[in-house]
Structure 1
Amino acid sequence: MKNFKLTLIMLLGIMGFVKTSIAQIQPNGLYLSFNDYRQHKLSYANNGKGNKIVIHDFLQQKNITVTTDGTKQVFAKNSIYGYRNNSHDYRLLGNKGYQIIDTVGFYIYSSDVLSQEGKGLKPVKTDFFSTKGDGEIMPLTQDNIAKAFVKNHKFRYLVQAEFKSDRDMDEYDNGVKEYKIKELYIDSNK
């Protein structure tokens, strides 16, 4: 009898976990504006009932195709703030999608950039940033940080002291689960 109760309790716990996990899965969709993104308001959400969103990332094409109830609509990428795909948010700028990585203090993005590797081009993960969620997106370099945060002397000096090269600027501190550059930014505002 004890084994039966224990098994029943474990089964109910697992069912509750699965139900919670499924409920936490968010649909794919479009953020028509920055305000929609801040409010997590998706338009044209892909609810799995034959609706489909195609971003056309290949060669940075200019349009997004949305199929809703059998009707196709085409949107220019430059008229949309961003989109959600597979539980990740992306911002669109210049027909290119930038994955939104972190939004505390300023925004950090990631995107693949084609780079010459050996005999051909290879996509390389590259980090970018903007001072605001709807601001200019720039490569995450010491020079760009210095230009963007010209009035925050302490932050600029901390960045120069901490990072030996631009390649180091995407370091992640697993202990505090935060990018080191974000830690420096928070420290500079104390």
Structure 2
Amino acid sequence: MALSFMVTGMALYAQSGVYRTLDDFENNRLTYATDDGSDENKIRFNEFIAKPYLIVKHNGEKIHVFKDEIYAYKNKGNVVRTWNFTQYNFLEKGPVWIYYKDMYTSQPKGTQRVRKYYFSTYGKGEIVPLTVYNLKKAFPDNDLFHIYLDAQFRNDRELAHYDNYANKFKVNNLLEKTSTGLSKR
């Protein structure tokens, strides 16, 4: 019994591991959990090689975990959701779940890293680009939200702004307020 408490405690504070399901993610249950950031314990997604699995190096042993059989993974404290064999860095859970992905674009003087933002309407939902059009499409019956989206955000890039006062992304704060009829709780 003491061993189970020790393993559970380690999973709660672990810096790396795999969330097999959404339920595992919501309850912070990691498989292959570790708080050791050494080369003996790391996760490689294999995005550039386009393999259907990620490699988890756990206690010196390489384990292949298929991308379509997991919900997300945690690597050095960062949570990454896998969807359609692509990785998205998790930022916030709210009325919309917000993610980002760094992409490299060609510029006249080389390449530049550009951060693109995405969202889903629930934990296992489709991940789509964070745009005004996609938000309106995701919440077609919330007319007040549509009006405030147009009034608050001049372009899609502004949707990724964080509200330090509310401690959440502005789009989530706006969606919460328009869904409750602007009532204060």
Q: TM-score by structure 2 length?
A: 0.81
Shift of 1:127: 0.6
Cα distance between partner residues in 1 of 2:131 and 2:175: 14
Q: Which amino acid is 1:137 matched to?
A: I
Alpha carbons of structure 1 residues 142 and 117: separation in structure 2 relative to 1, 3 Å: same
Q: Which amino acid is 2:112 matched to?
A: K
Aligned twin of 2:160:
170
Shift of 1:105: 1.4
Shift of 1:174: 2.0
- Partner SS for 1:134: coil
Cα distance between partner residues in 1 of 2:50 and 2:144: 38
Shift of 1:78: 2.0
Q: Do 1:28 and 1:46's aligned partners in 2 also have CA atoms closer than 8 Å?
A: yes
Counterparts in 2 of 1:129-148, with a 5 A limit?
A: 129-148=119-138
Aligned twin of 1:10:
none
Aligned twin of 1:18:
none
Two-structure CA RMSD over aligned residues (Å): 2.4
Aligned twin of 1:35:
23
**1:116 pairs with 2:106:** yes
How many residue pairs get matched? 169
Q: Do 1:25 and 1:87's aligned partners in 2 also have CA atoms closer than 8 Å?
A: no
Cα distance between partner residues in 1 of 2:152 and 2:16: 38
**1:99 pairs with 2:98:** no
Shift of 1:92: 0.5
Cα distance between partner residues in 2 of 1:167 and 1:51: 36
Quote the sequence identity (%): 31
Cα distance between partner residues in 2 of 1:130 and 1:51: 30
Structure 1 stretch displaced more, 57-66 or 101-110: 57-66
Shift of 1:28: 0.2
Q: TM-score by structure 1 length?
A: 0.79
Q: Which has the higher helix share?
A: 1
Give unpaired runs (5+ residues) of structure 2. Answer: 1-11, 181-185
Q: Do 2:42 and 2:75's aligned partners in 1 also have CA atoms closer than 8 Å?
A: no
Cα distance between partner residues in 2 of 1:71 and 1:164: 50
**1:54 pairs with 2:44:** yes
Cα distance between partner residues in 2 of 1:72 and 1:65: 6
